[in-house]
Amino acid sequence: MARYLIPRGLISGPAAARAVDAGIALPLAGGPLAFAAAEAVERRAGEEGQRRSVSLSQARAFAPDLVDGLANPRPHWAGFDLKRPLIMGVVNVTPDSFSDGGDFAEASHAIDHARAMLAAGADIVDVGGESTRPGAQPVAPQDEAARVLPVVRALAHAGAMVSIDTRHASVMGQAVEAGAWIINDVTALTGDPDSARVAARSGAAIVLMHMLGEPQTMQADPRYADVTCDLLDYLAMRLAALDQLGVERARIAVDPGIGFGKTVQHNVRLLDELAAFHVFGCPILLGASRKSFIGRLSRDEKPKQRLAGTLAAHQMGYDRGVQIVRVHDVAEAFQARAIWMAGLTNH
């Protein structure tokens, strides 16, 4: 029987510090939040499993190693100390991305856009040359490289922290040589037989994302026994594979892949249970910006009209200890983060 813990009784601000000092809560990922209880899950692989609410002492008795994983501080990642959530700005050098396809397909436009994001407060710019929206067609690696490498090279030369959003090993390697510090792969380094080896040898920080199937098919009736537990199993498997290649856990962040092979209900469940992904000792990346589930929960707004819903999703993430948000609207995300952080120190 596999065991899982989902932190509950989440506390923020001075109350979190007082609860930790009093021994009635534990810090969540060593950050400014704390958890005072948990939901314990036991199940066999592929089954829904049984859930029950437990106290901290019961959680320790149930799975002490999981409690430690949830509570321990995170090491630096990609050179960041993670004392505040990081903002990763999306730079799509594509003609067909779901939200801004064609807006920055020219390298010069993409570079200018990325510089504007950095000026607005982005910590990282995530450069991609292949759309992975539902139904998107694949792009040949050489075409993808031609799109992204001039952008990566220019931004890295200017001192920016650049992430390369790709599932192709050759593009990963070339982008790191051009100055990228982070490899962000929607297939968790499974989409190319060489990608895990290339990423491991590159020395770059890595983001492992969960996606069910391929972009062309991922939204065709996605099903899970328990979406949170299924994703925890998947990411644990991918982390174990990288461990075999000698990749230090401190290099890796995990991303549950909101919208990638998930229904609206799956996405909402994952947002609520994001804190469970702290168990790996890795930072959590949340990519909810302008996703279709926001429109489906509201009034079917177009992608660029989903800013308010995006910020609300980020708030849910921050309240569950997420360390990185991947966004299209950097200035607005920066402002929202500032207000959330001010609330942590309010007495």
**262 assigned to active site:** no
Which phi and psi (to 5°) does residue 27 adopt? Answer: -65, 145
Q: Which residue out of 262, 291, 306, 320 is catalytically annotated?
A: 291
- How far is the CA of 261 from the CAs of 101, 186, 249, in angstroms? 21, 11, 26
* DSSP run (H or E) holding 155: helix 141-157
As a whole number of angstroms, the distance between CA 347 and CA 338 comes to: 16
Q: Which residue out of 147, 320, 326, 337 is catalytically annotated?
A: 326
Tell how strand 50-55 and strand 34-43 pair up.
Answer: antiparallel
Of 196, 186, 189, nearest in space to 256 by CA: 186
Cβ neighbours around 195 below 10 Å, total = 24
Of 91, 69, 12, 121, nearest in space to 284 by CA: 69
**291 assigned to active site:** yes
Residues whose CB is less than 8 angstroms from the CB of residue 124 and which lie 6 or more positions away in sequence, other chains included: 78, 86, 87, 88, 89, 161, 162, 163, 182, 324
Q: CB-hemisphere CA count at 13 Å for 126?
A: 25
Active site residues per annotation? 291, 326
